[in-house]
Amino acid sequence: MSGRHLTQLAGPVGLVVIAALLGSVASNSTEIYFINALVAVSIVVAIYVFVGNSGVVSFGHISFVAVGAWTAGVLSVPVSEKPAIMQYLFPVLRDNTVGNVPSLLTAAAVGGVYALLVGLPLMRLSGLAAGIATFGVLEITHNLLRYYEKVGPGTNTFSSVPETTDLLQAAIGALLVIGVAFGYQSSRFGRLLRASREDPAAARAVGVSVYQQRLIAFTLSGVLAGFAGGLYVHLLPINSETVYLDLTFITLAMLVIGGMSSLWGAVVGALAVSGLDSLLAEAENGLTIGGLTVDLPAGTRLVIVGALMALILILRPGGITGGREFRLDHLRRSRPPTPEESNS
């Protein structure tokens, strides 16, 4: 791995560290926004590992987040509290509780296995059929988690999950996910998949199995999404509606706004949209900036994020970062990138 590549990692890592440091000096009521933003980074980077590297849109990744959240949530609610919200659990789930870290690791494993099982048939598809099929996965997952009460709380909310995702855990989690994503995209597999994104026919012609490469990325992004779901359930009392259409929309918006085809874009998008979203949330409760009181009606946030996403797609389809990785010399001088660079 060359030095130039490692500077690419410096941007995302630096941003996450800055966000975490800002959060640590913020007041208690503001800190939650920073924790939220860092968990959003984990989710968006997990989606990026598949969508960004393969160029195939997936509406189904929140399924893996949901499955991860269910796994970590069910495993870590104290045994004494389980009957209150989950009275129909399988005995093995009902009688056992694990700690914070094991629950996150199990969430990652279950997310990965689920993504592998789903990906085995689905990665044969491409284009529209793939988009609709991943949507189908989201619908099925949501439907099963909502009504199958032997594996979780059904329509109840995951209350009494220990809230262990503090600023430190969220930051470490985000850095871990970024590290894995970067390691993957610099690896042989990541490069083969990106080659197939740029030109599937040419990639096939030089012997790349597009199916196999997509399946690897899909499984890995399932692992990361499951892990991120674990972080999420340890942060907030979520339910089956929290990890469904709205989260799918907002995370896709983050990825698109930042720039779909780079890790830098995923991180920038997640943090920028989270920041905007938090600001708007404050404004919905009444916010005073320089003597001027802004009081937006509730629900303005989604309107503004949706409009921003549509605008970015129309005016700058590459997103804020133009889909390019972080580079130090972009800070020093600007020159038009060669085609090779804009693809990398």
Partner 1 sequence: MTLGLLSISWQVIVDSIGLGAVYALMAVGIGLVFGVLRLVNFAYGQLVMAGAYALAFASQWDLPLVVGIAFCFAVVIALSLLMDLVIFRPLRAQSPAVMLVATFAVAFLLQSIALLAFGPLGKSASSLGYLNRPVTVGDVDIRKITIVAIIVAGVCLLLLVLLLERTTMGLHMRAAAMDFRTARLLGVRADRVIGSAVLISALLAATVSVILTVQNPLVTPDFALRDTIVVLAGVVVGGMNRLLTATMGGFAIGFVSGILGGALPSDQSQYLPSLLFGLVILVLLIRPNGLFARGPGPVERV
d(CA 217, CA 211): 10
Fill in the DSSP letter of residue 207.
T
Q: How many helices (H) and strands (E) does the chain have?
A: 16, 2
Residue 319's Cβ-side half-sphere holds a number of Cα atoms within 13 Å equal to 27
- Quick one: 235 or 277, whose CB is closer to partner 1? 277
Stretch that binds partner 1, among 78-86, 207-215, 235-243, 246-254 (CB under 8 A): 246-254
Residue 160: Cβ within 10 Å count: 16
Q: Counting contacts by CB under 8 A, is residue 162 touching partner 1?
A: no
Nearer to partner 1, 146 or 191 (CB): 146
Looking at 15, 38, 57, 170, which residue binds partner 1 (CB under 8 A)? Answer: 57
Q: Which residue, 95 or 199, is less far from partner 1 as judged by CB? A: 199
Site size toward partner 1 (CB under 8 A) is: 45
Of residues 344, 334, 341, 272, the one with CA closest to residue 305: 272
Q: State yes or no: residue 252 binds partner 1 (CB under 8 A).
A: yes
The smaller minimum CB distance to partner 1, of residues 90 and 147, is found at: 147
What is the 3-class SS of 288-338, one letter each residue?
EECCEEECCCCCHHHHHHHHHHHHHHHHCCCCCCCCCCCCCHHHHCCCCCC
Mask of contacts with partner 1, 197-236, x by CB under 8 A? ---xxx--x-------------------------------
In the 8-state DSSP scheme, what is residue 244?
Answer: S
Please tell me whether residue 129 binds partner 1 under the rule CB under 8 A.
Answer: yes
Check residue 299 for interaction with partner 1 (CB under 8 A): yes
Q: Rule CB under 8 A: say whether 149 interacts with partner 1.
A: no
Q: Which of 151, 208, 281, 302 binds partner 1 (CB under 8 A)?
A: 302
d(CA 336, CA 216): 33
Residue type, 129: A
Give the Cα separation of 33 and 24 in Å (integer).
Answer: 11
User: What long-range pairs does 123-132 form, CB within 8 A, spacing at least 24?
Assistant: 123/211, 123/214, 123/215, 123/218, 124/211, 126/56, 126/200, 130/56, 130/57, 130/58, 131/57, 131/58, 131/59
Q: Which of residues 69-88 bind partner 1 (CB under 8 A)?
A: none
One of 207, 297, 336, 339 touching partner 1 (CB under 8 A): 297
Which tokens belong to 258? 């930042």
The correct pick among 44, 46, 56, 167 for binding partner 1 (CB under 8 A) is: 56
**Sign of CA pseudo-dihedral 141, 147, 148, 152:** positive
Q: Does 124 bind partner 1 (CB under 8 A)?
A: yes
Could you tell me which stretch among 64-72, 138-146, 216-224, 262-270 binds partner 1 (CB under 8 A)?
138-146
Least distance (Å) from partner 1 to the CB of residue 259?
12
Contact residues toward partner 1 (CB under 8 A) are 55-57, 59, 121-122, 124-125, 127-129, 131-133, 135-137, 139-140, 142-144, 146-147, 200-202, 205, 249, 252-253, 256, 297-300, 302-303, 306-307, 309-310, 313-314, 317
